[in-house]
Structures are given as C-alpha cells and as structure tokens.
Amino acid sequence: MVRRRIGALLQLVFSVLLLLFERWVREEAAKRGEPVSSSPKTIASSTLYHLGYLWLRDRDVGGIRTNRLRAFGFQLAQSRLSNRLFLQSDDGEHDYLLGFALATIGYRLWYGVLRPLPGSED
C-alpha cells in the first residue's frame, strides 16, 4: 500500500509539473505570435477520459493493475483510443495534456492525499 501511495504522490507531482510546463509552452507560443488555441470540449473530454482511466486502474478492474499482460493490453488499447480521439493536431495534443494533468491532479488530491487509495491493499 505504501508503494501505491508513493506512486500516486509522484503522479501528482508529475502532473503539477506538466501543468506548469503547458502554461509555459502556451505563453511562449503567444510571445512568438503563434498562440495555441484551446478547445474547452477537448479539455473536458480528455479530463473525463483520464479520470475514467485512473478510476479503472486504481480499482484493478479486470486485473489491469496487478496482471502485467492485461496492463500492457489495456495500456495499448487506451493509447490507441486516445490517439484517435484527441491527438489529431498539435492543439489537440496540448488540450489532451492539459486535461490529463487536471484529471490527475484532482483525482490524486482526492485519492492519495486527502483519502486512501481505492482498491485492494496489494
């Protein structure tokens, strides 16, 4: 359980850093006169998408956290789906990363900092 909690805290730190990096990228692009356009729909949908991913993984649905082969298969399918849904353009990639960071920060603050991690104790 301690290892899972440390992993959750590292995810939180990584996501905060990613959010700060995305902010810097957007500011630099605006300075160059090439602002990154944002789609609230893409940000919201990628946030919900990643919240669902974290929820499934924390609860080990289908053994996707504890079984390496299932974890690999799930990650591969998840990656292909996110590429198809969100990563068709550079702006979509930035919106996806923003949604990813927001979802992880919110979820890991709730499950990992303020409350215990859901799922089994292994």
Cβ–Cβ under 8 Å, residues 65 and 73: no
CA distance 54 to 56: 6
pLDDT number for residue 28? 92
CA distance 54 to 40: 21
For 92-112, write each residue's pLDDT tens digit.
788 889 999 999 999 999 998
pTM of full prediction above 0.95: no
pLDDT number for residue 103? 96
For 63-86, write each residue's pLDDT tens digit.
988 899 999 999 999 888 888 877
For 16-59, write each residue's pLDDT tens digit.
999 999 999 989 999 998 888 888 888 999 999 999 999 999 99
